[in-house]
Amino acid sequence: MSDLIAPLNRIGDIEGSRHNDDGTVTTPAGFVDAYRQYVAAGWGGVPFPPTYGGGGFPWLVGVAMQEILTSANMAFSMAPLLTQGAIDMLLTHGSEAQRETFLPKMVSGEWTGTMNLTEPEAGSDVGALRTKAVPADDGSWRISGTKIFISFGEHDMADNIVHLVLARVPDAPPGTKGISCFIVPKVLEDGKRNAVTCIGIEHKMGIHASPTCTMEYDGAVGWLVGGEPNRGMSQMFTMMNNARLSVGLSGLAIGERAYQAAVSYAGERVQGQGKAIVEHPDVRRMLLHIRSHIDAMRALVYTNAWAIDLAKHGRDDAERTRGQELADLLTPITKAWCTDLGSELARLATQVHGGMGYIAETGVEQHERDIRIAAIYEGTNGIQAMDLVARKLPMRSGAVVLELLDRIDADADAADRPQLTDAVAALREATEWLLAKGLSDPRNAFAGSTPYLRMFGTVLGGWFLARQAAVGDDARAASARYYLEQVLPTARGLLPAVTAGADSLDAYWAAK
Ligand SMILES: Cc1cc2nc3c(=O)[nH]c(=O)nc-3n(C[C@H](O)[C@H](O)[C@H](O)COP(=O)(O)OP(=O)(O)OC[C@H]3O[C@@H](n4cnc5c(N)ncnc54)[C@H](O)[C@@H]3O)c2cc1C
């Protein structure tokens, strides 16, 4: 990673991917070769079943490797990340024939995968999409429409690209109930090009090497995933949940890379009484703030991945259900908390660099630009917060959340961590308020959903770090101490924002 893929991070930023007149996309110099070596080493297949050529490792192992890849080069990592999501989706929902046709080459990485949801009128509101699918005589479908913002929709790193495309079949019910998912390969089995073209790529703030494509489907040949129409939304949720964990992970990965740059710079830069700036309390505060949040995020991301493993491979139904509930609850928190933090921590790392942080040559400002998208794609962080309060909090009438809070509370008591006891009490108060008031008027719950997610993430971070402090070395204990004493108390400070209700926001709009 550090010899091959990490050095391409800056080259990718400067060169970016290029759209050519014939509809092809050329990735920055070195990307094709690096991807070839990534495939040859078999990295992409690590967490997938050996039946399709995978390594059969737990998802947790795949996630740990993904962290290293994303730290090395976030833009590059998006091709494998989306491919893994597409594989997971086809493993769960594809027919046997579809799995046999597509999975071996996707698991090996020879073919990459994409996720085609977004259209000009359908962003967060996926149900508004208009792309159409009509049946052909041979059991396949013809797909027509325009998709925008499709990551790695076209590129030169793989022999084929397997697009998973959301579209409507004739007479489909309106909204999300009438969405179906189709497999649309760039190259068909007979070697001919399918009727799908990249008509342009976006110029954007960061991840310049990752082509963000406008895709035109003009009667392209496709196959209905699993053979059943109108199941596309729930099928795509498999891919999105997978991708949401990976996107959350990018906040951690970029935080770690920015931290490494900042801590190294702080040890070398001399300012003020001939001291390296790392000697100054305010610089120490910034670095420790980043470090402790990274420790907390890593625990959350890996616990989320472990819960996914438990949901799939638990010893019995009860254990699998427990894993699924935990994964469902943690996914929006992992996605939104870690990506908001990714931006905040990258900004702090720039600050540690002073003026040099603003200078492109240092490389640290790129992390700030690259990670900014993570709070937006895969469902904005606002949508994640709504998912938490509207779908996850009501699981078993709130019992999934309340049982977790009981467990954190018991651990806090046992470890004698009064800050954690207080923070979890505040989170319980917020949870009970949302359960009582949110059901009667969802606008109340949605008004407080973003601060609630932040509060939840902050408390989970405290719980993980309290446990790490008990078993880790002195540096780990000191990082946990900073978080428990200086970050965790901010959780209670969010309580008024969670429980203010929609009136507190609507009053301004009524008065305007
Ligand atoms: C670089 C990049 C790569 C991308 N890659 C892909 C990809 O590979 N595949 C793909 O399908 N898409 C992709 N996207 C699209 C991305 O997922 C969408 O941009 C994102 O889902 C938000 O949709 P939108 O841009 O239409 O914003 P909008 O939906 O217009 O949202 C604008 C704001 O309004 C808020 N909002 C919207 N609706 C509500 C609501 N009901 N309640 C409260 N707040 C609301 C949002 O949270 C946001 O803050 C990519 C986008 C970018 C920029």
Q: Dump the DSSP string for 256-282.
A: HHHHHHHHHHHHH-B-STT-BGGGSHH
**What confidence score (pLDDT) does residue 440 get?**
78
- Please name the residue whose Cα sits nearest to atom 16 of ligand 1: 377
**What confidence score (pLDDT) does residue 438 get?**
80
Please tell me the pTM assigned to this model: 0.97
- Please name the residue whose Cα sits nearest to atom 4 of ligand 1: 149
Q: Which mutation among 81, 118, 201 tests ligand 1's pocket best, with the greatest number of atoms within 8 A of CB?
A: 118
What CA–CA distance (Å, rounded) separates 218 from 216? 6
Distance 213 CA to ligand 1 centre (A): 15
**What confidence score (pLDDT) does residue 139 get?**
95
**What confidence score (pLDDT) does residue 337 get?**
98
Distance 380 CA to ligand 1 centre (A): 6
Q: Look up tokens 């932040």; give the residue.
A: 454
Pocket of ligand 1 (CB under 6 A): 115-118, 123-124, 149-151, 204, 212, 373, 376-377, 379-380, 382-383
Catalytic residue among 100, 378, 429, 432: 378
Q: Look up tokens 């496709």; give the residue.
A: 222
Distance 104 CA to ligand 1 centre (A): 32
**What confidence score (pLDDT) does residue 58 get?**
96
Tell which atom from ligand 1 comes closest to the C-alpha of 383: 47
Contacts of 85 (CB under 8 A, 6+ apart): 113, 115, 239, 240, 242, 243, 246
> What residues of the chain score a pLDDT lower than 50?
none
378 given a catalytic annotation:
yes
Distance 481 CA to ligand 1 centre (A): 37
**What confidence score (pLDDT) does residue 67 get?**
97
Positive or negative torsion for Cα 391, 307, 367, 255? positive
